[in-house]
């Protein structure tokens, strides 16, 4: 497949443009989830912005090719599982980006051109630092804080009210007077450098996790199930905007923010009102100069039209206000030396190389580690085999220039060859997992015929590095869904040696005293952190034996209730690579029992040509067959699976399509935002009723179930005369 990523937009053919839009939609969606949902960005801000700009340029040149899942039609990522959802009355939009002074001139020129008929109009603008944290929206009713939420995908966020209440900068009741009866105050939650370093020190002293940067740590702190953990992080909040409100706080942006200060919020002291490009850029330079001394991360300066009436008149373009722009800072650079290269094993078994550096300060942050992505990157090539850094490889002992692109992820810009030691040798990437010793392989992409850029451990169930994430997945909502056994408890029980494999979960009750002790120690630690944060000393501390742990009975019952799971859930829970909920359902439907799937999996794994042995199943391709071959061909997985099946007995998969099922044999497509069930739940329901679920609308489609926000699929269904019904009508039809 030809690499189109560097081909100029004006040279793309229509099929090439269509392919590029599909690639960009996938890549941007993955980046959004990594940044907004997982708080673990995988690409730099600059690379992300470049993909967005390329997507916009292609859509402008080929407007008829705009996809239903286009990044230009969405903001952020869907809210993560585990928190209640909050639909924003006014969407929380992203901002257009400016990278040069000329971009700022263009922004001001567009504004003046839009209002050029108002000859005497005096347009003012505001300039303020762009805080690098997590956006939050706070609802106040009659001056009282009632609910807080994350941005999420811009339309729907996560309810994190309890955690936001722990932030001292967020008042429970507004001060002063003049606030609207109802208003959503919006701003940024962030962590100072001092608090970040203190947290790192506390964690290191107790043998806890390492923290990457203040932004990710602040975001992770806000998503804690235990609000006392959030309280111990001493987060901060700057207010700078608002959403739904019964009346404007003030006639202008600047005066509204000053009102926020009167009502008890912290606002940036670096916000100014200006009337010319020169004044705005002067403030940008001033903020840039003060950046390293602020004590918290900023990554640019935001300019907004000051008058609210003019904001409303200028309006919005898809996903962004026309009246605002973020002027980003250029990345700062520094040189240092690569001391060694370590291999970390991620949750999916990916071998991730990390360069350990001589500590160097970049952008106000000490950088000691930088990701090297994969073995091709170390050799000097990108995922398409094209040279990067002029094809120069990275070796231990090299002097390298690094930058914190977007002030988030450190990256190596170039290797200083003239300083390369004479004894430096090319780095040999391991072909075995450094943790469990299982083979580490690079899969072949069946569509492109190329090797995957990442090498992965095939140990899966027996690899300790993958164990915690695998256990979290095993008990997650889409898998066995064991209530009360969330990520924090899994991590705790694993660290204490109480749970090592999935089978251990079902014998956890046998270790009740140790479980009780572990929970007590964690509570004590959390209490100490709260104590340290508040400066108050606890009195009458109860002993472990005095504590009431009736909740354990509830947990053990929840575990017992999952000893006979549905087969498709069990297959999905195993965490086999490339086996998602949909594929797990296909496998369950095809083989009916776990015993039969194991038999076929073993037979396939032992064959010279696995693809020739595995039954031909619609929806199961070479990638999945290879994943099953790796899983069932690894003898070290056998004992783990055998032990698990001694405790858990998956139900045979039986499709009971009643004679009166009105959708049996029908082809159904779901589109838009489903509000009563997830897309996977909708698909499973339809399939159990004997319907076939398709991903796109065609002449063979019988029913389109359309939720809010339905786009091109709805239009095509109407053109083809396909029956369109709402989600409520779907439930009525199937009698649910």
Q: What residues act catalytically? A: 130
Per the DSSP assignment, residues forming a β-bridge with 299 are: none
DSSP code for 350: B
Max distance between CA atoms of the chain, in angstroms, equals 82
Q: Compute the distance between CA of residue 248 and CA of residue 372 in angstroms, rounded to an integer.
A: 49
Q: Compute the distance between CA of residue 633 and CA of residue 621 in angstroms, rounded to an integer.
A: 18
- Strands 409-415, 320-321: pairing kind: unpaired
Q: In Å, how far from its chain's centre is CA 503?
A: 29
> Count of CB atoms within 10 A of residue 626's CB?
20
Q: Compute the distance between CA of residue 265 and CA of residue 238 in angstroms, rounded to an integer.
A: 7
Q: In Å, how far from its chain's centre is CA 133?
A: 14
**DSSP per-residue letters across 13-39:** -HHHHHHHHHHHHHHHHHHHIIIIISS
Q: Which two three-digit tokens encode residue 80?
A: 């993560």
Q: Which of 457, 485, 476, 464 is nearest to 572 (CA)?
A: 476
Helices 14-32 and 45-61 sit at what angle, rounded to 10 degrees? 150
Q: With the C-alpha atoms ordered 718, 722, 727, 729, is the resulting torsion angle positive or negative?
A: positive
Q: CA Rg, the chain, in Å?
A: 28
How big is the chain, counted in residues?
736
Q: Name the one residue in this structure whose structure tokens are 């995922």.
A: 383
Q: Name the one residue in this structure whose structure tokens are 């959802």.
A: 85
CB 212 within 8 A of CB 34: no
CA–CA distances in Å: residue 173 to residues 92, 504, 602 = 23, 47, 63
Q: Compute the distance between CA of residue 726 and CA of residue 97 in angstroms, rounded to an integer.
A: 38
Q: Compute the distance between CA of residue 619 and CA of residue 596 in angstroms, rounded to an integer.
A: 18
Q: With the C-alpha atoms ordered 205, 207, 208, 209, is the resulting torsion angle positive or negative?
A: positive
**DSSP per-residue letters across 557-626:** HHHHTTSS-BHHHHHHHTT-TT--HHHHHHHHHHH-SHHHHHHHHHHHHTSSSHHHHS---TT--HHHHH
Give the helix, strand, coil percentages of the chain, each rounded to 5: 40, 20, 40
Q: Which two three-digit tokens encode residue 633?
A: 């061909």
Q: Which of 330, 393, 390 is nearest to 362 (CA)?
A: 330
Q: Which two three-digit tokens encode residue 455?
A: 């090498």
Q: Compute the distance between CA of residue 79 and CA of residue 84 in angstroms, rounded to an integer.
A: 9
The SS3 of residue 427 is coil
The SS3 of residue 65 is helix
């Amino acid at each position: 497949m030809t690499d189109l990523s560097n081909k100029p937009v004006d040279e793309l053919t229509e099929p090439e443009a269509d392919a590029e839009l599909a690639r960009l939609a996938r890549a941007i969606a993955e980046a959004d989830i990594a940044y907004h949902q997982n708080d673990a960005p995988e690409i730099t801000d600059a690379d992300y912005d470049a993909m967005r700009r390329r997507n916009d340029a292609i859509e402008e040149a080929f407007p008829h090719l705009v996809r239903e899942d286009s990044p230009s039609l969405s903001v952020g990522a869907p809210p993560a599982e585990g928190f209640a959802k909050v639909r924003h009355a006014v969407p929380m939009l992203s901002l257009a980006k400016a990278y040069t002074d000329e971009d700022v001139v263009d922004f001001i020129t567009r504004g003046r051109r839009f209002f050029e008929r108002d000859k005497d109009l005096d347009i003012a603008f505001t300039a303020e630092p762009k805080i690098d944290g997590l956006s939050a929206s706070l609802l106040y009713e009659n001056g009282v804080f009632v609910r807080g939420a994350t941005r999420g995908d811009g339309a729907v966020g996560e309810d994190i009210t309890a955690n936001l209440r722990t932030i001292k900068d967020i008042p429970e009741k507004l001060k002063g007077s003049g606030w609207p009866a109802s208003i959503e105050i919006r701003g940024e939650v962030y962590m100072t450098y001092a608090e970040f370093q203190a947290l790192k020190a506390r964690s290191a002293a107790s043998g806890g996790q390492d923290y990457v940067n203040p932004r990710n740590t602040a975001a992770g702190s806000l998503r804690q199930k235990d609000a006392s953990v959030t309280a111990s992080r001493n987060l901060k909040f700057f207010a700078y905007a608002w959403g739904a409100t019964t009346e404007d706080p003030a006639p202008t942006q600047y005066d509204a923010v000053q009102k926020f200060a009167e009502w008890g919020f912290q606002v940036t002291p670096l916000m100014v009102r200006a009337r010319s490009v020169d004044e705005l850029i002067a403030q940008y330079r001033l903020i840039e100069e003060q950046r390293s001394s602020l004590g918290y991360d900023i990554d640019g300066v935001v300019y907004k039209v000051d008058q609210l009436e003019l904001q409303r008149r200028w309006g919005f373009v898809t996903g962004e206000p026309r009246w605002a722009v973020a002027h980003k800072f250029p990345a700062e650079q520094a040189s240092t030396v690569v001391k060694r290269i370590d291999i970390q094993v991620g949750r999916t078994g990916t071998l991730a190389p990390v360069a350990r550096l001589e500590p160097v300060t970049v952008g106000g942050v000490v950088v000691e580690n930088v990701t090297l992505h994969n073995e091709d990157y170390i050799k000097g090539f990108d995922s398409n085999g094209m040279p990067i850094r002029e094809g120069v490889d990275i070796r231990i002992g090299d002097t390298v220039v690094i930058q914190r692109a977007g002030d988030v992820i450190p990256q190596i810009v170039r290797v200083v060859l003239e300083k390369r030691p004479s004894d430096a040798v090319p780095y040999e990437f391991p072909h075995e997992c450094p943790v469990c010793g299982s083979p580490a392989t690079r899969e072949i992409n069946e569509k492109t015929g190329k090797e995957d850029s990442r090498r992965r451990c095939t140990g899966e169930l027996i690899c300790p590095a993958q164990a915690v994430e695998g256990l979290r997945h095993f008990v997650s909502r889409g898998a066995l869904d064991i209530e009360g056994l969330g990520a924090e408890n899994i991590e705790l029980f694993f660290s204490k040696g109480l749970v090592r494999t999935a089978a251990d979960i079902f014998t956890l009750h046998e270790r009740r005293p140790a479980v009780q002790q572990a929970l007590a120690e964690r509570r004590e630690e959390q209490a100490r952190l709260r104590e340290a944060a508040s400066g108050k000393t606890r009195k009458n501390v109860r002993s472990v034996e005095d504590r009431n742990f009736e909740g354990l009975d509830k947990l053990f019952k929840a575990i017992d209730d999952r000893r006979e799971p549905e087969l498709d859930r069990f297959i999905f829970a195993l965490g086999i690579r490339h086996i998602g909920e949909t594929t797990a359902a296909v496998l369950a439907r095809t083989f009916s029992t776990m015993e039969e799937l194991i038999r076929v999996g073993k037979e396939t794994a032992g064959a010279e040509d696995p693809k020739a042995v595995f039954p031909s199943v619609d929806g199961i391709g070479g990638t999945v067959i290879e994943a099953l071959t790796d899983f069932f061909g690894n003898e070290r997985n056998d004992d783990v699976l055998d032990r698990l099946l001694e405790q858990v007995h998956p139900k045979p998969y039986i499709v009971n399509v009643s004679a009166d099922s009105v959708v049996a044999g029908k082809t159904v497509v779901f589109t838009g935002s489903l509000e009563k069930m997830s897309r996977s739940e909708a698909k499973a329901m339809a399939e159990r009723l004997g319907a076939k679920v398709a991903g796109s609308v065609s002449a063979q489609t019988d029913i389109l179930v359309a939720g809010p926000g339905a786009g091109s699929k709805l239009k095509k269904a109407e053109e083809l005369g396909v029956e369109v019904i709402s989600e409520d009508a779907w439930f009525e039809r199937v009698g649910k």
